[in-house]
Amino acid sequence: MNQIHTFAAPVGRLLLATMFIMAGLNKIGGYAGTQGYMEAMGVPGVLLPLVIALQVLGGLAVLVGYQARLTALGLTGFCVLSAVLFHNDFSDQMQMMSFMKNITIAGGFLIIVAHGAGGFSLDKLRAK
């Protein structure tokens, strides 16, 4: 069981972080389209650089386990906020699934908030 605990946290962080890093990088490549989508949903497009920074830098921080609790808390808020702002049409099955995906990911981040980064993390190295 100890080996499971040793590897579960870093693999979990990898799985959570990958989506955010990729999403942030994709937003750079499709900047104008993403900005237009945000504005169509009532969110100022000027916030896009902050969204990209949060996704890429936050994803990297979770990946390496640096300030994992604080970063995970910020990404929890991001997940919930984006679910409410962008996926609130519950009559559309795909929007409902996207809403639930975001809420589920927020739950995963709250586990990091509660338990920390776990093994193979910068937080663990700094604690020694």
What pLDDT, on a 0 to 100 scale, did the predictor assign at position 1? 65
| Per-residue pLDDT in tens (0 to 9) along the chain, 128 residues | 678 878 999 999 999 999 999 999 999 999 999 999 999 999 999 999 999 999 999 999 999 999 999 999 999 999 999 999 999 999 999 999 999 999 999 999 999 999 999 989 999 999 98
pLDDT for 107: 98
Helix/strand/coil (H/E/C) assignment for every residue in the chain: CHHHHHHHHHHHHHHHHHHHHHHHHHHHHCHHHHHHHHHHCCCCHHHHHHHHHHHHHHHHHHHHCCCHHHHHHHHHHHHHHHHHHHCCCCCCHHHHHHHHHHHHHHHHHHHHHHHCCCCCCHHHHHHC
Give the separation between CA 30 and CA 69, rounded to whole angstroms.
Answer: 30
- pLDDT of 12 reads 96
**pLDDT at position 3:** 83
